[in-house]
Amino acid sequence: MNQALKVHLTPALSRAPEPAGRAALDPQGPQVCIGAREDACGLAVPVRPEPGTLFGPRGACMAGGSLWVCDTGHHRLLGWAQPPQQDHAPADWLIGQPDFYSEGRNGKAAPSATSFNVPTGISACGEGLAVADAWNHRVLIWHRVPRASHTPADLVLGQRDFLEAQGNRGGETAADTLFWPYGVHWDGARLWVADSGNRRVLMWQGLPQQNGQAADLVLGQSGFTQRDENGGGDPSAASMRWPHAVVIWGEALCVADAGNNRIMVWSQLPRRHQQPCDILLGQQQAHLVDHNQSLYWPSAETLNMPYGVAAAGDWLLAADTANSRIIAWHRGDLHSGAPARALSGQLQFNAKGDNRWQMPVRDSLCWPYGLSVQEGRVVVADSGNNRVLLWPLAQELLP
């Protein structure tokens, strides 16, 4: 090997181990695992739709005392009347399919107020629920948390009615259209949607009141009619490539921009279109976008396709999806390029690999997508392992 090339490659391929830091989630592991089972040899059981199975779940949350999971690969929403207390507990409610044993996009029928095509993001929304129904290019909203199977949504965004399902309504991008919306978040006063295929984040002031209502604010683009990657120019503190999740963290807005391998943080709620963020996590500068900052191994300062983000008091958690780990930053040392302080899913910050390159175990992760936090417990959509984990925060992260 050319000596100059060898010197160049060495730091990327053989980094010295970094300290593990503190745990983000309870080192004892999840309290409950829903979904994936293993046979006696430790091999994954084929995933068939049943009341207790999941196929690539990408989002899950608590709402109204119940647990709801976007069972993405089965194109359905599953609900548990109460948080499960034991592994593999079957769901109580089903929306999106005619029964627990069926699957297929939109239930193999036309789109409706009870159908899904790749449901991904989910959030408690006022007294109800909001779901990003990505490949139907819409967000569905229930004014009350469903308490029975097959409960139809009350309102749809991105489409004129529940029967339509074309990206950007089959036309140009606008304030009332969506294209592959993957993330949704209600902050108590505003609805935020990661409109991923349009490379933007949209905000509605207050809970929308009518089908197809136009958004009030756009981030990532100069206006509602633009949809170019990174705003049609070089990456910047105002541009986005693949926004996937949104959360309000105290007074700050945080967006997981998976395509640029970073998390964008606005210290105060943005008030104008395309307002640049104040802080970037995962990258040292706004024009840099490579995964793991162009190195093979991750570190406490890098990200590789972060698809999920959640807030827990003074801590910001991220599902660092392609590194198969969850990392967390503390509010007190937040600045662009800041290293994370806490880690779960891997044994040290410069380790990666699905399930730590081994068979799945209770505290390992494989492409975690969605995160939500409620009362000291994190709901993790561990998509690559076909399961959802109910996992307490580590004691050090509790208020």
140-155 residue pLDDT tens: 999 999 999 999 999 9
Q: What is the pLDDT of residues 203-241, one digit of tens each?
A: 999 999 999 999 999 999 999 999 999 999 999 999 999
User: Residue ranges of the alpha helices (H) in the chain?
Assistant: 3-13
Q: What is the pLDDT of residues 349-380, one digit of tens each?
A: 999 999 999 999 999 999 999 999 998 999 99
> In the predicted model, is pLDDT for residue 333 greater than 60?
yes
Any domain includes 95: yes
- Region 33-48: what's the mean pLDDT? 74
pLDDT at 21: 72
pLDDT at 309: 98
User: How confident is residue 279, by pLDDT bands cut at 50, 70 and 90?
Assistant: very high
Q: What is the DSSP string of 85-117?
A: SSTTPPPSEEESSSSTT--SGGGGS---TT--S
pLDDT at 238: 98
Any domain includes 112: yes
Give the separation between CA 399 and CA 394, rounded to whole angstroms: 11
> In the predicted model, is pLDDT for residue 91 greater than 50?
yes
The parent domain of residue 182 ranges over 16-397
Any domain includes 8: no
Residue closest to 381 by CA, chosen among 58, 52, 45, 127: 58
Q: What is the pLDDT of residues 117-144, one digit of tens each?
A: 999 999 999 999 999 999 999 999 999 9
> In the predicted model, is pLDDT for residue 51 greater than 60?
yes
pLDDT at 40: 54
Between strands 155-157 and 200-205, the pairing is: unpaired
CATH number, domain with residue 366 = 2.120.10.30
Give the separation between CA 150 and CA 364, rounded to whole angstroms: 34
Any domain includes 6: no
pLDDT at 399: 77
User: How confident is residue 43, by pLDDT bands cut at 50, 70 and 90?
Assistant: low
CA angle 258, 158, 134 (to 5 degrees): 40
Any domain includes 303: yes
Any domain includes 160: yes
Any domain includes 10: no
Any domain includes 1: no
> In the predicted model, is pLDDT for residue 42 greater than 70?
no
Q: What is the pTM of this model?
A: 0.94
Give the separation between CA 288 and CA 281, rounded to whole angstroms: 11
Give the separation between CA 235 and CA 231, rounded to whole angstroms: 8
CB 328 within 8 A of CB 339: no
> In the predicted model, is pLDDT for residue 104 greater than 60?
yes
- The domain total for the chain is 1
